[in-house]
């Protein structure tokens, strides 16, 4: 999957789930959480910008205040 997603500008929720090694249900919960970089392109579909996902992960890896919101993924 890495070769297919390497140069993408944005990921679907399913692609993000595979990249992060989490279940699709957790990925959708994450997509709906406040502060997560999800761009809603319709009432039921969002995409996650690749740069936004990397930045979000970096903030949590650094242990900043944004990463201390609870849950394993930083989801309340």
Q: How many helices (H) and strands (E) does the chain have?
A: 4, 3
pLDDT in tens, 14-28: 999 999 999 999 999
C-beta atoms surrounding 61 within 10 Å: 9
Q: Are 60 and 74 in contact (CB under 8 A)?
A: yes
Question: Per-residue pLDDT for 4 more than 70?
Answer: no
pTM assigned to the model: 0.74
Average pLDDT, the chain: 85
- Select the CATH number that applies to the domain covering 10-62 from these four: 1.10.10, 1.20.1070, 2.30.30, 3.30.420: 1.10.10
């Amino acid at each position: 999957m890495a070769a297919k997603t390497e140069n993408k500008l944005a990921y679907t929720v399913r692609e993000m789930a595979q990249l992060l090694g989490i279940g699709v249900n957790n990925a959708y919960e994450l997509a709906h959480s406040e502060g997560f970089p999800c761009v809603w392109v319709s009432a039921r579909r969002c995409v996650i910008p690749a740069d936004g996902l990397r930045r979000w992960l970096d903030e949590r890896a650094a242990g900043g205040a944004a990463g201390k919101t609870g849950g394993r993924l930083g989801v309340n």
